[in-house]
């Protein structure tokens, strides 16, 4: 995997939106905060466009992403927010300039489409990270600090406390993944990644528990879960249930789906729709260590 260059003081980053619409008041504070890192910030020409629920038409959103990845001064592209929409434009993008001069692509949730597509088709690392909408008032938090440190090349490892469902062990490989629902939605497309030998991480938001089970069964029946080197389960936030309970939590559903495999499984990772959404180098080589005391992701 190729790794984009880390940033330095005075570099320029671009902010674009490929999914849900937003208005300036929602990220003005975040833009000021990013500038305080010593970076120049430029915004996509259509950043605040409005087309139904989207940040502009498919053509506008694709144009902004193309502008950002082709811009000779831009060293990283920060996606303003998620929602839904990146899958609608991913096939419009010409990656020729990006391949010659890779830059960090930073976001999560709906941007899982982008991470998976770039990893699978280009072999270039991206950054699964928080987005400006998650520090919109300009106040730093664990997620924004992790994004800053990673962009500037401060090698970080993720450490978190043990979970009662953990399956201990150590595994190494390329770490990939993201939002479970989005990964499920791109199965069978050119954006689907190869899971063989990978360390897979998963997170999700406001899904019904039986949906989680259905998606995990699809992953299992397709043979993806049996091929993993390890599994990291992030935050499954605000899960929903039916009047008649499904009977298991999201974590229990996931553990059940991988129960017949022997690789390590770490739960409660600080990845997902929470303030402490720590950056992960998507496609980067890593080691996962799961013990009864803690879980660690160490990046190469």
pLDDT of residue 183: 98
* pLDDT, tens digit (0-9, with 9 covering 90-100), for 158-212: 999 999 999 999 999 999 999 999 999 999 999 999 999 999 999 999 999 999 9
- Could you tell me the residue ranges of all domains in the chain? 12-151, 158-299
pLDDT of residue 134: 98
Q: For domain 12-151, which CATH number applies: 3.40.50.970, 2.40.110.10, 1.10.10.10, 3.40.50.10740?
A: 3.40.50.10740
Active-site annotation holds for 282: no
Point out the catalytic residue in the list 115, 224, 273, 282. Answer: 273
Q: What are phi and psi of 106, to 5 degrees?
A: -120, 120
pLDDT, the chain, mean: 97
pLDDT of residue 156: 76
Instruction: Write down the pTM of the prediction.
Output: 0.97
Active-site annotation holds for 26: no
User: Domain spanning 158-299: which superfamily?
Assistant: LD-carboxypeptidase A C-terminal domain-like (3.50.30.60)
Q: Whole-angstrom Cα distance, residue 153 to residue 3?
A: 11
Alpha helix (H) residue ranges in 110-199: 112-121, 142-151, 180-185
Regions of the chain short of the pLDDT cut 70 = none
Point out the catalytic residue in the list 203, 211, 224, 282. Answer: 203
CA torsion through residues 5, 9, 11, 15, sign: positive
pLDDT of residue 300: 83
Q: Whole-angstrom Cα distance, residue 157 to residue 20?
A: 31
Residues 6+ apart with CB under 8 A from 168: 264, 290, 291, 292
Point out the catalytic residue in the list 63, 109, 174, 185. Answer: 109
């Amino acid at each position: 995997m190729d790794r984009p260059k880390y940033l330095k003081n005075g570099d320029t980053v671009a902010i674009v939106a490929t999914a849900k619409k937003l208005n300036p008041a929602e990220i003005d504070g975040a833009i000021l905060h990013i500038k305080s890192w010593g970076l120049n910030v430029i915004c996509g020409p259509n950043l605040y466009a409005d087309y139904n629920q989207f940040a502009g038409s498919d053509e506008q959103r694709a144009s902004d992403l193309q502008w950002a990845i082709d811009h000779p001064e831009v060293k990283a592209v920060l996606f303003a927010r998620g929602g839904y929409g990146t899958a609608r434009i991913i096939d419009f993008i010409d990656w020729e300039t990006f391949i010659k001069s890779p830059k960090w692509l930073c976001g999560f949730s709906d941007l899982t489409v982008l991470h998976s597509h770039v990893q699978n088709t280009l072999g270039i690392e991206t950054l699964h990270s928080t987005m400006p909408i998650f520090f919109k008032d300009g106040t730093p938090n664990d997620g924004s600090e992790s994004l800053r440190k990673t962009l500037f090349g401060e090698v970080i490892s993720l450490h978190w406390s043990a979970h009662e469902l953990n399956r201990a062990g150590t595994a190494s490989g390329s770490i990939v993944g993201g939002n479970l629902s989005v990964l499920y939605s791109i199965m069978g497309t050119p954006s689907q990644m190869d899971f063989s030998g990978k360390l897979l991480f998963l997170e999700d938001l406001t899904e019904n528990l039986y949906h989680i089970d259905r998606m995990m069964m699809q992953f299992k029946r397709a043979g993806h879960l049996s091929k993993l080197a390890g599994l990291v389960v992030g935050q499954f936030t605000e899960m929903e249930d039916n009047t008649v309970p499904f009977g298991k939590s999201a974590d229990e559903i996931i553990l059940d789906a991988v129960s017949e495999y022997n690789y390590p499984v770490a739960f409660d990772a600080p990845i997902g729709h929470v303030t402490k959404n720590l950056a992960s180098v998507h496609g980067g080589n890593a080691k996962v260590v799961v013990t009864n005391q803690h879980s660690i992701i160490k990046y190469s």
